[in-house]
Chains A and B, each alone.
Chain A
Amino acid sequence: MSILAVLEQRAGAWNRVSFETLAAAQQLGEELGREVSAAVAGAGLENLASELGGHRLGRGYAVDHPLLENYTADGYTLALGQLIERIKPFLVLFPHTYQARDFAPKLATRSGRVLLSDAIGHRVENGGLVMVRQFFQGKINADLRFAGEPPYFASLQAGAYRADRLAPGSCPVETFRPELEAAQIRTRPLEVFREAETTVDLGSAERIVSVGRGIREADNLPMVQKLAEALGAELAASRPICDNGWLPMERQVGSSGQTVSPKLYLAVGISGAIQHLVGMKGSKTIVAINKDPEAPIFEVADYGIVGDLFQVVPALVEELEKRK
């Protein structure tokens, strides 16, 4: 019973987080003494299949069918379900992407199993597998063990495993042709698109002051705006601020917003949920102002002030102006 990594592609290009999942599968395979295989689904996969063959794996599977040209949950679930039925893996791993969120729970349900989603790591204890995931938006860690019989299903948080640990090698790649009919696919995906061009380019900003729900009301935003001005920084925000319409969506940082890596990222009243962190943790210097010393933002912060932002921010503005 092998470990199967399900990789992700769109229009013939890999989603890079797939390689983290592949590296994790190799690592687990070694630790558990199990063979590792990998699968990718789509239509006309010749190129990806040959790339798949360049990894240290027991076997690769190109799950190839014209009806898999565009991703659909129905198509992927049926196709990968048939592969799982045939190779009966021990553990199926996915990257915790938006696409995996869309079909992996369905695939697991079809096998009568529960997906262990968004895992951040694992340990092997006495030959048994312990998975680590967080609850309460990163405030609590937990060790989990699969229960019942395999196959087990888990998805891995982006950044939890390192793609640069991926071992090269070679493996045979088999083309797996699932049985699919057009009528089984109930959703019709249309083109992917972006909203109108953005007018701010946070990606090239040297300094960013980012504001979160700690600000409480839109009326309090000018205070943070002032801080941004005093620092010569762009103003950005966490998702709830943009959801409320207090700042435009284009100023949102995170997995569904922009990814930024300025010299200075100053987070004001932001808790540091993983979807926010992925958008800014590459910043050179990170500063957090938060009244909660346990806020997950401090996990990535170089400097911090634990305190009330309504006192700290004006004090910072004053200090910066004094030094001008």
Chain B
Amino acid sequence: MTIIVCIKQVPARESHLRPAGGWVEEADLSYEINEPDAFALEEGLRLKEQHGGETVVLSAGPARVVQTIREALAKGADRAIHLEHENPRAFSPLETARFMADAIAGEKPDLVLTGLQSDDLGYGHTGVILAELLGLPHATIVMQVEVRDGALRVKRELEGGWFQHVEMPLPALLTIQSGIGALRYATLMGIKKARTKEIRRVPLEAGPGDAGFQVERVSLPARSKATRLFDGSPQEAAAQLVEKLKFEARVL
């Protein structure tokens, strides 16, 4: 099987974000793999181990995403495609997906995996758009994948603790939910090997077209609720909190 895993590099989870220049200040951010994409990669590697073939990672973004690509190669991906995309925000999600779809179509994959949602933009739709552009059946929010006789059976998460199995033919696209399997670590050997693995660079030249929507203004969310904060030393804060819980909220 040829399995493509789409991995996005996003600002590290505990980044402090400040509105600036129509978006957020990016100068001091550090980056990491989007969390659900790490699970999509894990599933892609597991399926390859089971069924043979290769796992190819694809990431669209500026030069910095090569770091995330290398980490995926170190974990066991066979090769990578880097869609060079210097100013990701100049593109709408549909255009980004178009660039990704063009690169993916040429690979004739059996399976395309994405995360269910990115931690930065949080659209939750790039995978579904890709499936439509590639003409593939899809399932979203997937928690389990079985490949049997050239077909797929997946377990989808629904709301409120419900699940559903869905079957479909290959090739197909799945958006993977966090927690689908335990994440592996890169081994020293893996890190060494990654240095020689292929990263195919695809420059993106086309300019932005139909944007879908434009970000007009960015701000920090206004706090609508007045939270009573306790300060002082941890002991002082703890004492005040317990006091309030007992005598004001009366929940102890």
Contact = CB atoms under 8 A, between A and B. Distances in A.
Interface of A: 73-74, 77, 97-98, 101-106, 109-110, 112-118, 130-131, 134-148, 152, 186-195, 207, 213, 231, 239-240, 242-245, 255-259, 263-264, 284-285, 287-288, 292, 294, 296, 298-308, 311-312, 314-316, 318-320, 323
A285 B245 contact: yes
23 contacts: A109-B97, A114-B129, A117-B125, A140-B221, A142-B218, A144-B214, A147-B211, A186-B137, A188-B167, A190-B165, A207-B251, A243-B39, A255-B159, A256-B157, A256-B161, A302-B228, A303-B230, A305-B230, A305-B238, A312-B238, A315-B233, A323-B242, A323-B246
Contact of B178 (A243, A294, A308): A243
Nearest to B123: A117
A105 B129 contact: yes
A196 to B, nearest CB: 11
Nearest to B92: A114
A288 B137 CA distance: 42
A interface: dominant SS:
mixed
Contact of A257 (B122, B161, B221, B230): B161
B221 A264 contact: no
A67 B245 CA distance: 55
Interface stretch (B16-24, B54-62, B66-74, B193-201): B16-24
Contact of B213 (A74, A97, A146, A304): A146
A301 B162 contact: no
Interface in B67-83: none
Given A112-B210, A146-B212, A239-B178, 7 more contacts: A115-B123, A136-B120, A139-B220, A188-B167, A256-B161, A287-B241, A292-B14
A285 B217 contact: no
A140 B234 contact: no
The 4 tightest CB contacts between A and B, nearest first, are A114-B212, A243-B179, A105-B125, A186-B137
B141 A316 contact: no
A140 B17 contact: yes
B124 interface: yes
A315 to B, nearest CB: 4
B14 A258 contact: no
Interface of B: 11, 13-17, 19, 24, 35, 39, 92-94, 97, 116, 119-125, 128-129, 131-133, 137-141, 157-169, 177-179, 182, 210-225, 227-231, 233-235, 237-239, 241-242, 244-246, 249, 251-252
A147 B245 contact: no
Contact of B235 (A139, A188, A318): A318
A106 B124 CA distance: 12
A264 B178 contact: no
Contacts of A308: 234
Contacts of B139: 102, 187
Given A73-B138, A140-B24, A186-B169, A306 B235 contact: no
B218 A140 contact: yes
Contacts of A135: 120-122, 218
Nearest to B24: A140
Given A117-B123, A195-B163, A240-B178, A303 B212 contact: no
A319 B124 contact: no
Contacts of A231: 252
Given A140-B220, A264-B245, A303-B245, A288 B227 contact: yes
Contacts of A303: 227-230, 241, 244-245, 249
A2 to B, nearest CB: 20
Contacts of A264: 245, 249, 251-252
Contact of B211 (A103, A143, A148): A148
Contact of B128 (A106, A143, A302, A311): A106
A115 B125 contact: yes
